[in-house]
């Protein structure tokens, strides 16, 4: 399904240019952060500082963060401890910014991958069937696709979350369960609704690409030959159409991971993610202390940017190397 020419093309474009290498290095860094977050973290990311341990759910009326800095001694939250152990400082409620950064990578990676996978599982079969059979099935799908695409992605996601609510799924952390990282949270909250909603928002793109591929492949000689031998349609779809349409689907999937990471961050920023352990949510939280503790917002934002850049760079590389229709002179554009 991937020819030698394509393989050598992939290799050549990777060796020749700098950007895919940067993308790969960044991606590996983010995956390592996400995988080994409990081992790399210095603090429990959910443990709040002194201020919260007084039992106050949130700062009382009239409490201002300006005074907090002035009276840091009284609130005793950061100044002493932060210089020694909190590498990147603490946020408004005394949680360790560095540890939350690592765990934020985890949530982004899990949501990005699972949502894209789900969208593929929904979109690709529908698109292949529509393109292969054509006719009414195809017309129906295209109208549904048109309708879905009439909604801006974020707006549709917001509408869906408005319906289904936002519920985090608490996934047990294998590293902590195995006893390698004591003191770290045993479960991580994954924004479950966001994962499903993300897939519902982007599946149409997979369906459209798969349809286009099936539409052109169904007229190929080998498909015609298989049909004349009496091979069933399901088998033709599985054995001939699917493997041959995978390349553009993989390229699309790479780019969609970046789309989902940005979507999750945006929803979390707007307060609709359902989990507090997310880069987007952390940026929103830092907004209140932007004047006094800008790093609370700066750090997770850099995380989102690096994750998206890495995926985009690799996506560009795959697209240029795998798609023979694209003029090589445009590479890197």
Partner 1 sequence: MSIAKFLLRRFLQGIFVIWGVITIMFGLRAVSPGDPASLMAGEGATAEIIEQVRVQEGLDQPLYLQYIEYLQGMMVGDFGFSWQARREVSAIVIGRIPATVELAVAATVVAIAIAIPLGVISGTRRNQPADYSATMFSLLGISTPNFWLGLMLILVFAVWFGIPYPSVGTSSLPLSGVSVPYPSSVGLGMVDLPTGRRDVSFGVAVSALVFEQSLSEMGTWLRHITLPAITLGTYFTALITRLTRSGMIDELGKPYVTSVEAKGLPSVLIRYKHVLRNTLIPIITVLGLQIGTLMGGAVITETVFNWPGLGLRLIDALHDRDWPVMQGIVIFIAIAFIIINIIVDALYASLDPQVSDE
Q: What does the binding site for partner 1 look like in residue numbers (CB under 8 A)?
A: 19, 57-59, 61, 63-66, 143-144, 146-147, 149-156, 158-163, 165, 258, 262, 265-266, 269-272, 274, 276, 280, 283-292, 294, 297-298, 301, 304-305, 308-309, 312-313, 327, 329-330, 332-333
Nearer Cβ to partner 1 (114/312): 312
Contacts of 46 (CB under 8 A, 6+ apart): 95, 185, 276, 277
Q: Smallest distance from the beta carbon of 93 to partner 1, in angstroms?
A: 10
d(CA 302, CA 265): 12
End-to-end CA distance of the chain: 27
Q: Smallest distance from the beta carbon of 48 to partner 1, in angstroms?
A: 12
The token pair that represents 144 in the structure block = 């549904």
d(CA 251, CA 222): 25
Residue 255, CA distances (Å) to 206, 252, 286 in order = 11, 5, 28
Residue in the structure block whose two tokens are 């987007």: 280
Nearer Cβ to partner 1 (223/281): 281
- Own/partner contacts of 299-305, CB < 8 Å, gap of 24 or more, are 299/88, 299/97, 299/98, 299/101, 300/100, 300/101, 300/104, 303/30, 303/101, 303/104, 303/105, 303/108, 303/279, 304/108, 304/261, 304/262, 304/265, 304/279, 304/280
d(CA 3, CA 11): 13
DSSP string, 13-55: HHHH-SHHHHHHHHHHHHHHHHHTHHHH-SS-TT---HHHHTT
d(CA 231, CA 43): 60
Q: Smallest distance from the beta carbon of 267 to partner 1, in angstroms?
A: 10
The token pair that represents 148 in the structure block = 């879905």
Q: Smallest distance from the beta carbon of 47 to partner 1, in angstroms?
A: 17
The token pair that represents 6 in the structure block = 């394509």
Q: Smallest distance from the beta carbon of 148 to partner 1, in angstroms?
A: 8
Q: Smallest distance from the beta carbon of 119 to partner 1, in angstroms?
A: 17
Residue 83, CA distances (Å) to 89, 286, 293 in order = 7, 19, 14
Q: Smallest distance from the beta carbon of 128 to partner 1, in angstroms?
A: 23
Q: Smallest distance from the beta carbon of 103 to partner 1, in angstroms?
A: 17
The token pair that represents 134 in the structure block = 């054509």
Q: Smallest distance from the beta carbon of 182 to partner 1, in angstroms?
A: 27
């Amino acid at each position: 399904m991937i020819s030698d020419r394509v393989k050598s093309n992939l290799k050549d474009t990777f060796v020749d240019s700098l950007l895919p290498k940067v993308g790969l290095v960044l991606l590996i860094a983010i995956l390592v952060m996400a995988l080994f977050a409990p081992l790399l973290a210095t603090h429990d990311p959910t443990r709040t500082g002194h201020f919260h341990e007084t039992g106050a759910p949130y700062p009382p009326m009239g409490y201002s963060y300006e005074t907090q800095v002035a009276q840091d001694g009284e609130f005793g939250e950061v100044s002493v401890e932060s210089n020694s152990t909190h590498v990147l400082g603490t946020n408004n409620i005394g949680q360790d910014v560095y540890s939350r950064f690592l765990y934020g990578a985890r949530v982004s990676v899990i949501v990005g991958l699972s949502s894209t996978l789900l969208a593929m599982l929904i979109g690709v079969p529908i698109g292949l069937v529509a393109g292969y059979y054509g006719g009414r099935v195809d017309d129906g799908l295209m109208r549904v696709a048109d309708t879905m695409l009439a909604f801006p992605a974020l707006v549709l996601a917001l509408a869906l979350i408005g319906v289904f609510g936002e519920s985090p799924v608490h996934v047990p952390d294998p590293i902590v369960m195995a006893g390698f990282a004591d003191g770290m949270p045993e479960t991580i909250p994954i924004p479950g609704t966001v994962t499903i909603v993300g897939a519902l928002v982007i599946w149409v793109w997979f369906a459209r690409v798969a349809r286009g591929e099936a539409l052109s492949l169904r007229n190929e000689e080998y498909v015609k030959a298989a049909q004349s031998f009496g091979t069933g349609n399901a088998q033709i779809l599985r054995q001939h159409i699917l493997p041959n349409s995978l390349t553009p689907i993989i390229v699309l999937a790479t780019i969609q991971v970046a789309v989902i990471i940005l979507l999750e961050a945006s929803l979390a920023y707007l307060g609709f993610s359902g989990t507090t352990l997310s880069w987007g949510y952390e940026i929103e939280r830092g907004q209140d202390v932007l004047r006094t503790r800008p790093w609370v917002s700066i750090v997770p934002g850099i995380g989102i940017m690096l994750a998206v850049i890495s995926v985009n760079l690799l996506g560009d590389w795959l697209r240029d190397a795998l798609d023979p229709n694209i003029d090589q002179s445009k590479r890197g554009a």
